[in-house]
């Protein structure tokens, strides 16, 4: 009996020694309270490494190596930049699932083909706490690890975020000359990074380019006028994108719009006529008057910006005073072409000159009947091409995008 008890005692000592050796093997991956992590920010559901051996515990020991996580965010971290795309990697295994969640919902992401890494597709919201929950399986059967990490993003004031507004509006039907216009309420210095996240797609597809007019305004236009019937989608996915100077994008913006009939109006200031074409067909030729000497109407390609069934026109708002001043309370069927005040509108006071003389202060006037008809078929984005004067249309005075050759226009891209 004493020999048997002695053998059992030796066996117990050997098992104890092996258990001690097993703990030593785990120690590099179980620092602090986050076993199974190389960055000290995660928690495994085991010790990271476990061992088993033969019955006598002295030979044939086998390691079961559990997966080890790493990430670009750490447990309990605060002030994480909203521009961060959360990523998780695993060694000695492959990821089964990764979920990044907050009170706002789940962050979309994608797994690599080899299952070793996961990367978020969306950036983060300010002053928000996120939880990263990851599960991985090891190379050996039954080997599994879990990780759970929480972190909080930086707090941002509204003055540290820039918001994008888009024209056209959601669901709007516009003319073939309508550019996509994105305006930001706070300047964007890092234009190239923002432009990478601003896309315009269409069916049918049409070649086009972005052009930055300033730090707060970017336009996109196709190489030639839009094709009638085109469906357009604009995605300005800049939420959390670094705009430079401590400013970040605020909210993604996505809109869809449609291109309507191809209305193109051709105005000749020398012949005092407007030819109205729709989808290539001449619908009507309208007698008109344009700007007189000193108020010459600009030649070039203009686009209808907005429409007013009735509008007050006060010359003081465009700098015309003295003997040439006017203040007309109810100008009918007015359609704006430039920011500086050129309109197409009804001008019953000049019917006698329409078709034979230019007598306006720069606007294109016609009879009330003709103006009513034209107003009824027109929409934002319709094109008005002017010829016959030596005063050129300027690029930024309205939707002047078509007054540069496309090769030159495309140079306004930040990429």
Cα distances (Å, whole numbers) of residue 306 to 178, 227, 310, 375, 376: 11, 21, 12, 11, 13
Largest CA distance in the chain: 133
Cα distances (Å, whole numbers) of residue 90 to 115, 117, 120, 170, 346: 9, 7, 15, 43, 71
* 380: number of Cβ within 10 Å: 22
Closest CA to 91 of 66, 108, 109: 66
Residues with Cβ within 8 Å of residue 381, at least 6 apart in sequence = 168, 174, 175, 176, 177, 178, 259, 303, 304, 399
Which listed residue (211, 219, 345, 361) is catalytic?
A: 345
Residue with tokens 């465009």: 318
| DSSP state letter for 168 | S
Residue 197 annotated as catalytic: no
Query: Cα 328 from chain centroid?
Result: 42
Residue 26 annotated as catalytic: no
Strands 173-174 and 253-259: parallel
Q: Which residues are catalytic?
A: 345, 363
């Amino acid at each position: 009996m004493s020999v048997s008890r002695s053998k059992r005692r030796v066996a117990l000592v050997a098992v104890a020694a092996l258990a001690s050796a097993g703990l030593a093997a785990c120690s590099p991956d179980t620092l602090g309270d986050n076993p199974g992590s190389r960055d000290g920010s995660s928690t495994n559901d085991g010790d990271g490494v476990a061992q088993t051996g033969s019955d006598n515990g002295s030979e044939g020991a086998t390691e079961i190596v559990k997966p080890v996580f790493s990430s670009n965010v750490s447990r309990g971290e605060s002030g994480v930049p909203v521009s961060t795309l959360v990523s998780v990697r695993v060694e000695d295994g492959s990821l089964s699932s990764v979920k990044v969640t907050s009170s706002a919902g789940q962050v979309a992401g994608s797994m690599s083909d080899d299952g070793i890494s996961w990367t978020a597709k969306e950036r983060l919201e300010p002053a928000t706490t996120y939880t990263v929950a990851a599960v991985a399986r090891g190379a050996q059967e039954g080997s599994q690890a879990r990780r759970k990490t929480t972190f909080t993003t930086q707090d941002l004031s509204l003055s540290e975020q820039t918001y994008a507004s888009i024209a056209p509006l959601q669901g709007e039907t516009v003319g073939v000359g309508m550019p996509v216009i994105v305006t930001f309420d706070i300047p964007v210095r890092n234009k190239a990074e923002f432009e990478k996240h601003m896309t315009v797609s269409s069916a049918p597809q049409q070649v086009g380019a972005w052009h930055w007019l300033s730090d707060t305004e970017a336009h996109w236009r196709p190489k030639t006028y839009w094709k009638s019937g085109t469906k357009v989608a604009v995605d300005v996915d800049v939420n959390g994108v670094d705009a430079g100077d401590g400013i970040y994008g605020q909210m993604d913006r996505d809109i869809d719009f449609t291109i309507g009939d191809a209305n193109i109006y051709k105005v000749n200031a020398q012949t005092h006529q407007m030819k109205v074409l729709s989808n290539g067909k001449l619908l009507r030729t309208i007698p008109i008057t344009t700007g007189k000497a000193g108020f010459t109407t600009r030649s070039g390609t203009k686009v209808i910006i907005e429409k007013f069934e009735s509008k007050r026109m006060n010359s003081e708002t465009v700098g015309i005073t003295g003997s040439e001043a006017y203040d007309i309370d109810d100008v009918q069927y007015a359609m704006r072409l430039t920011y500086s005040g050129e309109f197409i509108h009804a001008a019953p006071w000049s019917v006698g000159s329409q078709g034979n003389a230019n007598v306006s202060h720069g606007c294109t006037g016609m009879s009330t009947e003709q103006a009513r008809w034209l107003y009824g078929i027109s929409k934002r984005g319709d094109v008005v091409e002017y010829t016959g004067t030596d005063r050129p249309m300027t690029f930024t005075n309205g939707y002047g995008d078509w007054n540069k050759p496309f090769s030159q226009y495309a140079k306004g891209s930040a990429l």
